[in-house]
């Protein structure tokens, strides 16, 4: 979603703000802006619509450099108010207070009406401006900057991660968070704030992760943190293992392409120290994992988007192999239902970022419904709101995923879910030692199999051209491949803007077959499993309606290639667990090359943000 970076240093802060914004751009990018306090303690601000490069051009075109030792900056993904320079952050109140904000102030209209009566003039349509005015009005009453923030946040309903500077307090930034992540970077040359460590990796690897309700006063040589109740607190300084170079494209054209090709290594890293020669180390889910896994009778998974699709695959595995009832639900729906949560439920959240607001709220709602439930978060982010709120955490070790479309996070989530299924099934007595050993050996082969699947890139790139002018596409699969078809359709629509839908192939005749004609390409996945013959019949139904088909198959599936049906063998002898992971690869490559052939911005698709920290 939106990104925040800021700092108090002994040098000019503007280059750091720009670098941070560039590194945060993947989170949201319809506009960006920065503000610094000049030597004369006056605000100097620049804001531009579009990419951060537009802001850089804006700065270059100025006759006078924007220069100062303290500043805050923001990349915006519009929620309240269209993308425009006026709505871009930072916002200013009375030339005294300036604010950048991630999140949504839900009661902003109410606050705005009060502030208009107090004489405040609104320059934007955003909810953020009320934050600046609230802080200013507290300062007018005589409070210090930090006290004003402490008082102001009490009136906000919703979520916020904010950075605040004031011309009256030129030596400090105030950072505050509730529901939106915010951290402090510590270095010898200054201290920084950011919504994501990536923004600061070139300056420091030492971070303090603010907790819910924390407010921090960040100065050149000192950081003071207060909790929700205003009490002074100590938060640990943690060393990040991430390196600035990990967030570069390397020799690849796009982050998405790099991340697709990183999957063999990402899976090796996810498996490392989690398996022995032939068994799963269930304690890698946490030291209480064995006890919790033994006690559970069902699993409820909640997630969004790609992570939800991973959950759907896991449902098949968990019920088929580990014999535990498993439900999967889209988190944004779950949080507003009144679901029944039996005792002995393991509530699993899946989230690359660990910050998705809907998933976080689904977990909170579940805890309210049944306070005996145990929770596990599978995430790619060690220090996130979801991991902090969960009893158990399992990290996917995919490394930073910058491309907005999730790729390696998905396949490493699947690997993690396979380990979860195996651990629970083993502890509950449904998975034998022999089965466990087979599963583990299958997982170890995944990196090699993915490398084999990646070899199809040239052929898939060629085939992608036939999609360039299409408006719609249909993805078909059965069993776990239905979930993979959903993931394929999601990838295609989000980066190429082609309307794509996924159906379980057996459902076709109940309606969607009416859509099929020569303009509707159909992509099918044909593993060599017990449903293969049924799928082949479904493909015949499609073929006789004149559609052009593309089938990714297991070599042993032997789907017959013909003019209207291009069949691409991916590999052979895939098992129940490896098949969905391996068949994901050609679908990722297909959407990547279709998007390129349509000249779409693959890494930064329109209207999307990497981490959706608002509802
Ligand atoms: C699709 C995509 C999104 C995310 C979804 C959940 O490629 O990236 O659908 O999967 O927004 O995000 P996380 O996993 O961070 O909770």
Evaluate: CB of 38 within 6 angstroms of ligand 1: no
pLDDT at 503: 95
Task: Please say whether the dihedral angle defined by the alpha carbons of residues 432, 434, 435 and 440, taken in this order, is positive or negative.
Answer: positive
* Fold equal for 3-246 and 455-615: no
Q: Which CATH superfamily is domain 249-444 in?
A: Glucose-6-phosphate isomerase like protein; domain 1 (3.40.50.10490)
CATH class of the domain defined by 455-615: alpha beta
5 beta partners: 73, 194
Residue 359: CB within 6 Å of ligand 1?
yes
Catalytic residue among 51, 203, 543, 610, which?
Answer: 610
Q: Is pLDDT at 24 greater than 90 in this prediction?
A: no
* Mean pLDDT comparison of 71-75, 503-507, 564-568, 604-608, highest-scoring range: 71-75
- Give catalytic status of residue 2 as yes or no: yes
Predicted pLDDT at 538 = 86
| Ligand 1 atom at minimal distance to the Cα of residue 304 | 6
pLDDT (mean) for 410-428: 97
CB atoms inside a 10 Å sphere around CB 63: 4
Alpha helices by DSSP H, 513-568: 532-543
User: What percent of the chain shows pLDDT beyond 70?
Assistant: 98
Are 175 and 216 a contacting pair, CB within 8 Å? yes
Specify the higher pLDDT residue, 89 or 83.
89
Q: Could you read off the pLDDT of 146-203 as tens digits, one per residue? A: 999 999 999 999 889 999 999 999 999 999 998 788 999 999 999 999 998 889 998 9
pLDDT tier for residue 48 given thresholds of 50, 70 and 90: very high
Separation of 356 CA from ligand 1 center, angstroms?
Answer: 8
Residue 248 pLDDT > 80: no
Query: Which residues make Cβ contacts (< 8 Å) with residue 121, sequence separation at least 6?
Result: none
Domain ranges of the chain: 3-246, 249-444, 455-615
140 CB neighbour count, 10 Å cutoff: 13
First to last CA, the chain: 11
3-state class (DSSP) for residue 217: strand
Which among 356, 378, 400 is the best mutation to test ligand 1's pocket, defined by most ligand atoms within 8 Å of the CB? 356
Q: Which two tokens stand for residue 565?
A: 């049906």
Judging by beta carbons within 10 Å of its beta carbon (0-12, 13-18, 19+), is residue 194 exposed, middle or buried? buried
Whole-number Å distance between alpha carbons of 247 and 249: 7
CA 149 – CA 159 distance, rounded (Å): 14
pLDDT in tens, 513-533: 888 888 899 999 999 999 899
283's tokens: 């304690």
- When pLDDT is averaged across residues 281-300 and rounded to a whole number, the result is 92
pLDDT in tens, 460-469: 999 999 999 9
Cross-strand bridge partners of residue 522: 474, 549
Domain 3-246: state its class. alpha beta
- Cα of 363 to ligand 1 centre, how many Å? 16
Catalytic residue check, 377 = no
Spatial separation of the C-alpha atoms in residues 446 and 268, rounded to whole Å: 8
461 Cβ neighbours under 8 A, 6+ residues apart? 589, 593
Hey, whose CA ends up nearest to atom 4 of ligand 1? Answer: 305
Banded model confidence at residue 537, pLDDT cuts 50, 70, 90: confident
How many angstroms does the Cα of residue 415 sit away from the middle of ligand 1? 17
In angstroms, rounded to a whole number, what is the distance separating the alpha carbons of residues 606 and 601?
8
Helices 578-597/457-464 angle, 10° precision: 50
Helix%, strand%, coil% for the chain, nearest 5: 40, 25, 35
Supply the pLDDT for residue 245: 64
DSSP state of 143: -
């Amino acid at each position: 979603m939106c990104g925040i970076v800021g700092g108090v240093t002994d040098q000019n802060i503007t280059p750091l703000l720009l670098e941070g914004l560039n590194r945060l751009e993947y989170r949201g990018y319809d506009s960006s802006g920065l503000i610094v306090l000049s030597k004369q303690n006056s605000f100097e601000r620049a804001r531009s619509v579009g990419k951060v490069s537009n802001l850089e051009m804006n700065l270059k075109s100025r006759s006078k450099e924007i220069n100062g030792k303290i500043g805050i900056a923001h990349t915006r993904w519009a929620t309240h108010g269209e993308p425009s320079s006026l709505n871009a952050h930072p916002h200013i109140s009375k030339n005294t207070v300036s604010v950048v904000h991630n999140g949504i102030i839900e009661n902003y209209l109410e606050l705005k009406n009060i502030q208009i009566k107090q004489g405040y003039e609104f320059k934007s349509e955003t909810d953020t401006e009320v934050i600046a005015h609230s802080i200013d009005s507290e300062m007018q009453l005589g409070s210090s900057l930090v006290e004003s923030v402490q008082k102001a946040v009490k009136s906000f309903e919703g979520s916020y991660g904010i950075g605040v500077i004031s011309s009256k307090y030129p030596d400090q930034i105030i950072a505050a968070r509730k529901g939106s992540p915010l951290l402090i970077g510590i270095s010898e040359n200054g201290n920084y704030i950011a919504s994501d460590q990536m923004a600061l990796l070139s300056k420091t690897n030492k971070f303090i992760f603010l907790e819910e309700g924390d407010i921090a006063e960040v100065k050149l040589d000192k950081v003071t943190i207060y909790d929700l109740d205003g009490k002074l607190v100590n938060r640990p300084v943690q060393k990040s293992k991430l390196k600035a170079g990990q967030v570069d494209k390397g020799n690849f054209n796009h982050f998405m392409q790099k991340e697709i090709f990183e999957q063999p290594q990402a899976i090796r890293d996810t498996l490392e120290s989690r398996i022995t020669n032939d068994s799963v180390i269930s304690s890698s889910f946490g030291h209480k994992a064995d006890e919790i896994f033994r006690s559970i009778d069902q699993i409820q998974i909640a997630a969004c988007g790609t992570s939800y699709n991973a959950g759907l695959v896991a449902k098949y595995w968990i019920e088929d192999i580990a014999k535990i009832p498993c439900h999967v639900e889209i988190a944004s729906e779950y949080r507003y239902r009144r679901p029944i949560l039996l005792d002995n439920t393991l509530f699993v959240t899946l989230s690359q970022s660990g910050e998705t607001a809907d998933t976080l709220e689904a977990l909170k709602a579940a805890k309210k419904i049944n306070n005996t439930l145990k929770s596990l978060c599978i995430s790619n982010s060690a220090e996130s709101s979801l991991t902090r709120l969960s009893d158990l955490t399992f990290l996917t070790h995919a490394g930073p995923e910058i491309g907005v479309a999730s790729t390696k996070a998905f396949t490493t989530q699947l690997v993690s879910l396979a380990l979860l299924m195996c651990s629970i099934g083993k502890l509950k007595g449904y998975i034998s030692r022999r089965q466990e050993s087979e599963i583990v050996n299958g997982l170890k082969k995944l990196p090699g199999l993915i490398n084999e699947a990646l070899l199809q890139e040239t052929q898939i790139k060629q085939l992608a051209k036939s999609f360039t002018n299409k408006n719609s596409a249909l993805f078909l699969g059965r069993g776990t491949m239905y979930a993979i078809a959903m993931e394929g359709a999601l990838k295609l629509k989000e980066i190429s803007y082609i309307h794509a839908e996924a159906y379980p192939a057996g459902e076709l005749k109940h309606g969607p077959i009416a859509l099929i004609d020569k303009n509707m390409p159909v992509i099918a996945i044909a593993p060599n499993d017990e449903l293969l013959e049924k799928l082949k019949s479904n493909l015949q139904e499609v073929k006789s309606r004149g559609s052009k088909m593309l089938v990714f198959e297991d070599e042993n599936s032997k789907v017959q290639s013909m003019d209207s049906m291009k069949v691409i063998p991916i590999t052979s002898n895939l098992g129940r667990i490896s098949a969905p992971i391996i068949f994901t690869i050609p679908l990722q490559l297909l959407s990547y090359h279709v998007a390129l052939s349509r000249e779409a911005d693959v890494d930064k698709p329109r209207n999307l943000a990497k981490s959706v920290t608002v509802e």
